Amino acid sequence: MRLKDKVAIITGGGGGIGRSTSLRFSQEGAKVVVADIDSVSGQETVSLIKENGGEACFIKTDVTNSEDIQNLIKSTVEIFGALDVLFNNAGIGNSEVRSVDMLEEEWNKVIDSNLKGVFLGIKYAVPELKKSGNGVIINTSSVMGLKGQKYLSAYNAAKGGVILLTQNAALEYGKYNIRVNAIAPGVIDTKIIDQWKNDERKWPIISRANALGRIGNPEEVANAVLFLASDEASFITGATLSVDGGGVIY
Ligand SMILES: NC(=O)c1ccc[n+]([C@@H]2O[C@H](COP(=O)([O-])OP(=O)(O)OC[C@H]3O[C@@H](n4cnc5c(N)ncnc54)[C@H](O)[C@@H]3O)[C@@H](O)[C@H]2O)c1
């Protein structure tokens, strides 16, 4: 087992990538704290883990809210006694509009959910990860954090920010043996891409726009996150791993 007895928090654990990673981590022996703003889907993930004999709990969390994140870290340590792995994964898309047409409220929401949430996770988890002696943080960026795309200004900015925040934290906390890495998924089959799936004109293009000519599934992302969380990645920090079927080079 690659994460035996590790305690892992997964934000956005009710959604596609977060749920798959929660299940994968549990299969590898981790105790999983599923954190999500949506109680129904978060509790479902916990039920799935328990049905398979794993250990998990749900803590309702809005990653944009500092008090929620502080409560998440504190409760995790109270329930499972430690924190070893934080997967800062919760996020939202933005409606496809030019910057000049984007409402400031939407800009703020996308930046807060995708970037500030990662900052808050790092800020409040590091003191506990230091105690672990072998702490790991993985942040979810995106191919859209590596290259610009029309009509995705806030998402581009937030996911690009996640990559440099990852490098920053890797440099600041490496001396405590905390490794900090990012993943950059391409188009993955989860709810976040529903808006594109319904677009008959764009979907045939978007769904094949990578070297492998297909979209990915959340389990394929979970396997990459598992690798980064495990001791097999013990000399990897500050990196961004594309999980995109070759989307960024396409
Ligand atoms: N699916 C893709 O194509 C793709 C590609 C690149 C990056 N990503 C990123 O992957 C991450 C996971 O997304 P997904 O594809 O699994 O989508 P998803 O919509 O299935 O899951 C996202 C989860 O995050 C939760 N969430 C949203 N805002 C939250 C908040 N403020 N606090 C707590 N939880 C919140 C949602 O309730 C949901 O359960 C996101 O950061 C997303 O930007 C997805």
Domain of residue 28, CATH code = 3.40.50.720
For the cut 90, the answer to whether the pLDDT of residue 56 exceeds it is yes
51 inside domain: yes
CA-CA-CA-CA torsion sign (165, 167, 168, 172): positive
Query: What is the pLDDT averaged over residues 204-230?
Result: 98
Q: Is residue 250 part of a domain?
A: no
Domain that holds residue 82: 7-243
Domain count of the fold of the chain: 1
Phi and psi dihedrals of 240, rounded to 5?
A: -120, 115
Q: Confirm whether 248 is domain-assigned.
A: no
Residue 249 lies in a domain: no
- Strand 240-243 with 179-185, pairing: parallel
Q: Cα–Cα distance between 243 and 39 in angstroms, integer?
A: 28
Does a structural domain hold residue 135?
yes
| The pLDDT value given to residue 116 | 99
Residues 99-120 have a mean pLDDT of 98
What integer is the mean pLDDT of 152-166? Answer: 98
The residue-averaged pLDDT of 205-212 equals: 96
pLDDT band, very low/low/confident/very high, at 158 (cuts 50, 70, 90): very high
**173 has catalytic annotation:** no
**Atom 28 of ligand 1: nearest residue by CA position:** 91
Q: Is residue 37 part of a domain?
A: yes
State which amino acid sits at residue 199.
Answer: D
Residue 49's alpha-carbon distances to 27, 35, 37, 213, in angstroms, are: 8, 14, 19, 32
151 band by pLDDT with thresholds 50, 70 and 90: very high
* Distance in Å, CA 137 to ligand 1 centroid: 17
Q: Is the CB of 15 inside a 6 Å radius of any atom of ligand 1?
A: yes
**Substitution candidate for ligand 1 out of 190, 214, 244 with most atoms within 8 A of CB:** 190
Helix, strand and coil in the chain, % to nearest 5? 50, 15, 35
Residue 162 CA to residue 146 CA, distance in Å, equals: 10
Asked whether residue 81 is assigned to any structural domain, the reply reads: yes
- Calculate the average pLDDT of the chain: 98
Interval between CA 37 and ligand 1 midpoint (Å):
11
Ligand 1 contact via 183 beta carbon (within 6 Å): no
Mean pLDDT of 17-28: 98
Q: What is the pLDDT averaged over residues 199-228?
A: 97
Residues of the chain with pLDDT > 90, as a percent, come to 98
In a domain, 208, yes or no: yes
For the cut 90, the answer to whether the pLDDT of residue 115 exceeds it is yes
Catalytic residue among 124, 151, 155, 250: 155
The pLDDT value recorded for residue 195 is 85
